[in-house]
Structure 1
Amino acid sequence: MRLASAFWVSALLRRADLAGAVAVVRRRGDEVAGAIWVVVDRLDGTIDLHVPAPQSLVDEDASDDRRFETVAARAEPAAVEARIASEVRFDPDLWVVEVEDRAGRSFVEPPPIDPNAPPPARPVWPPRD
């Protein structure tokens, strides 16, 4: 069973704080099932954006942890803000969390999925000898 969005965001804020980064909720979404987007401000004029990974990129045997993919790395803030605004119009239950960290840490666990990596191997059933 997946953790409620509000609880998961609270844990993310705590992880960032314990690591010495600043994290704030920019937009509050649905308490239970809202999607969560994580914006990482690298404090050098660039921003990373981590969004929920499509289920096709997630290993079927993985736990119920939320999985993320990086859709913008070292991007211009205006482009990321436009994408967020567009998504909010589509999904009013969206959470947006912003992390300020010079090292670019997002504090999402497990780490974001690389969309360019090959998909996980499918198990063969029945097993072949």
Structure 2
Amino acid sequence: MRLRTDIFVSALMRRVFARGDFAAVEAKGAEEAGAVFVRQVFRDGTESLFAPAPQSFFEADESGRRLFEARLERVGSDAVAEAIGRERRFDGDLWVVSIETDDLGDILDFAGAEPKDDGFFRR
């Protein structure tokens, strides 16, 4: 069973702040099951966009964790905003979380990577 999206986002933001980084919810979607997009902002002004991984990654994984994949990496903010706009036209219930950090490796689980057993998002 997967956490409600609002609880996942709240925990994600607490984790970011605990590291000394900054996060903000840019767009709030469906509280129960909205998709989460993460906009990573780097110090040099470039951004990356991470989206939910395709459903095929979840068939073998029944832990309930949310897996992400990179959609755009280190591009201008306009390119990220345009991609989010396209996604919002397709799915108005999505969430957008902006995180100012140079490394998301210990904050998000990425498709194809070994799961981290940190006790934070696991059951």
TM-score, normalised to structure 2, is 0.83
CA offset digits 1:55-113 (Å, max 9, x no partner) = 22346045110100111111121111001011111111010000011x23265432x23
> How big is the alpha-carbon RMSD for the aligned residues of Structure 1 and Structure 2?
1.8
User: Which residue number in structure 1 is paired with residue 103 of structure 2?
Assistant: 104
**Number of matched pairs:** 113
Q: Distance in 2 between matches of 1:109 and 1:46?
A: 19
**1:16/1:107 contact within 8 Å kept:** no
User: Which residue number in structure 1 is paired with residue 120 of structure 2?
Assistant: none
Q: Distance in 2 between matches of 1:99 and 1:62?
A: 27
**1:40/1:106 contact within 8 Å kept:** no
User: Which residue number in structure 2 is paired with residue 127 of structure 1?
Assistant: none
Q: Distance in 1 between matches of 2:38 and 2:88?
A: 14
Distance of aligned partners of 1:99 and 1:107 in 2 relative to their CA distance in 1, 3 Å threshold: farther
Unaligned runs of 5+ in 2: 114-123
Q: Equivalent pairs: percent with the same residue? A: 42
Unaligned runs of 5+ in 1: 118-129
Rg bigger for which structure?
Answer: 1
Letter of the 2:74 counterpart: R
Where do residues 1-129 of structure 1 align in structure 2 (5 Å cutoff)? 1-58=1-58, 60-101=60-101, 103-105=102-104, 108-110=107-109, 112-113=110-111
